[in-house]
Structure 1
Amino acid sequence: MPYTMVSFHAHPDDEALLTAGTLARAAAEGHRVVLVVATAGGAGLASSEVLAEGPLARRRLAELHRSAEALGCARVECLGYGDSGMADAPSGAADAFAGTDPEEAARRLAELLRQEQADVLTIYDPAGGYGHPDHVRVHQVGTRAAELAGTAVVLEATVDRRLLQRVLRAVHWLPGVPADFHPARFAGAFAAPERLTHRVDVRAYAGAKRAAMAAHASQAGADTGRRTLAVLLKLPRPLFRVLMGREWFVQHGRAPGRPLIDDVFAGLP
């Protein structure tokens, strides 16, 4: 039976890093996938060369649509809030998503969930993964919107923290790896393995996931050096498939169990 999944993110490119394989898999299996971002990402880091080409937000929305096409998404929406920037480098935008009324934003998202008759909503964990203010707000707004709309399944897109730490310890010292890949930066980020409910196998969709990442070219580098997307896209394809071939979620209201669930639509009638 086909279902509808709405995947809610803070900025263009977030969908590629955390949920791209799951979205591509759902679309390939015949489900309707709707991608929603709160902001156009106008405060994102980018090189001076990219910034000289015109408004970053406009470019990032175009990149979002290319990513969505690669993943098979049926609809793309931007709520139009301002990118808040990082906690230690706020954008100062008057309409910054992190400073908006969460109830008002939740009502807007809930209306979209009702329009789509969404069965599944993906958001982030309460800490927003690694603490970005807009990611924290995605959790708050998404949780409330699902309550208002009566969406059956709410999944926090995350990463297995223990596995992430192992990978970072193995690679952070390699030449060309950004300094912010240091394990200490992510010591409390994302989800402890005992909280996880889902581990979705997306190895068969690694090509679509890689294409989604590549679509966000403006976020691959900055004047200060390479960024996460650039590092991941440099991986040989077989290694990319191994490292990026699983995606993790925590489902609201479901007790963690073993083995972890591989199907984001599990339990729906």
Structure 2
Amino acid sequence: MATVLAFHAHPDDEVFLTGGTLARAAAEGHRAIIVVATDGVMKSVAEGGTTRMEELRAAAAELGVSRVVHLGYADSGHGKELYPDPPDRMRFVRADTEEAAARLAEILREEKVDLLLSYDPNGGYGHRDHVKVHEVGRRAAELAGVPRVLEATIPRDVVVRMVRLVRLLRIPFRYDDRVLANAYSPSAAITHRIDVRRYAGQKQRALAAHRSQVTGNGRMAPVMRALVRLPAPVFGLLLGREWYVESRRRLFTP
């Protein structure tokens, strides 16, 4: 039995890029873990946690994930403006990479992680917290001596097709098509293509578990609403594959 840990920026990110992989790993008898750098909240958090972390735990249960951990940082937000830190914690983008990597490495060692799932160098579509996940995840794997790192991504040609479909269906989508066309990874860089269609139902239910994001007014909310309403077979056709770039950097134990 191997231990697979998926490191993500915010709750709900885990579903889109790695949900099927985690569900498949758990179904095949491996231990699956999710660590989020932030809880997706911009403000201070009252004692007892947040709705988004509760939703993440519900999504994780749908995927068969054994453990969920928040690394302790606040969401850094979108756009060019960087907001002041809330009183109770630092925004992830401001975190010292070595310090954040040390926090994650402690979990990697504790769990004896065999495979770390992180993000590609672009951080997918370029969100600053996602780019930071790439930097922190790669360094943490070095510190902990994790033998394999797969960086979650989507081939750019697939991104272009997805965006065209969203536009064709007239689903509100507040992202710049030109930016997305150069985001994620080129097809030639992809090293692993994982078929997760068998786990599409779990992946869709996990997405639906993020109720505040599905019903809210965030930039991805219209797309999420459309996805959770699809028949499971159609959902599987659209989100039934997940892609990774294997990190070739030599990993070592200090």
Q: TM-score, normalised by structure 1?
A: 0.84
After superposition, the Cα gap between the structure-2 partners of 1:17 and 1:224, relative to the gap in structure 1 and judged at 3 Å, is closer
1:183 aligns with 2:177: yes
Secondary structure, aligned partner of 2:169 = coil
Secondary structure, aligned partner of 1:122 = strand
**1:112 is matched with which residue: 89, 107, 112?**
107
Work out the CA distance in 2 between the residues paired with 1:134 and 1:150.
Answer: 23
Q: Which consecutive aligned stretches of 4+ in structure 1 deviate over 4 angstroms post-superposition?
A: none
Q: Which residue of 1 aligns with 2:80?
A: 88
After superposition, the Cα gap between the structure-2 partners of 1:89 and 1:174, relative to the gap in structure 1 and judged at 3 Å, is farther
Q: Which residue of 2 aligns with 1:261?
A: none
Q: Which residue of 2 aligns with 1:5?
A: 4
Deviation at 1:235, TM superposition (A): 2.5
Q: Which residue of 2 aligns with 1:62?
A: 54
After superposition, the Cα gap between the structure-2 partners of 1:223 and 1:21, relative to the gap in structure 1 and judged at 3 Å, is closer
Matches within 5 A, 1:183-202: 183-202=177-196
Alignment gaps of 5+ in structure 1: 45-53, 255-269
**2:211 is matched with which residue: 205, 209, 217?**
217
1:79 aligns with 2:71: yes
Work out the CA distance in 2 between the residues paired with 1:222 and 1:90.
Answer: 22
Q: Alignment RMSD, CA only?
A: 2.0
Q: Over residues 150-204 of structure 1, what are the superposed CA-to-partner deviations in whole Å (9 max), with x where a residue is unaligned?
A: 00000111111101212322331323x0132663341111111000000100000
Paired residues in the alignment total 242
Deviation at 1:220, TM superposition (A): 1.4
Work out the CA distance in 2 between the residues paired with 1:241 and 1:142.
Answer: 28
Amino acid across the alignment from 1:214: A
Amino acid across the alignment from 1:107: A
Q: Which residue of 2 aligns with 1:155?
A: 150
Deviation at 1:88, TM superposition (A): 2.7
Amino acid across the alignment from 2:247: H
Secondary structure, aligned partner of 1:123 = strand
Q: Over residues 119-171 of structure 1, what are the superposed CA-to-partner deviations in whole Å (9 max), with x where a residue is unaligned?
A: 00011111111111111110000000000000000011111110121232233
Amino acid across the alignment from 1:75: R
| Segment of structure 1 superposing worse, 229-238 or 138-147 | 229-238
Work out the CA distance in 1 between the residues paired with 2:217 and 2:20.
Answer: 29
Give % identity: 50
The answer to whether the 8 Å contact 1:13/1:64 transfers is yes
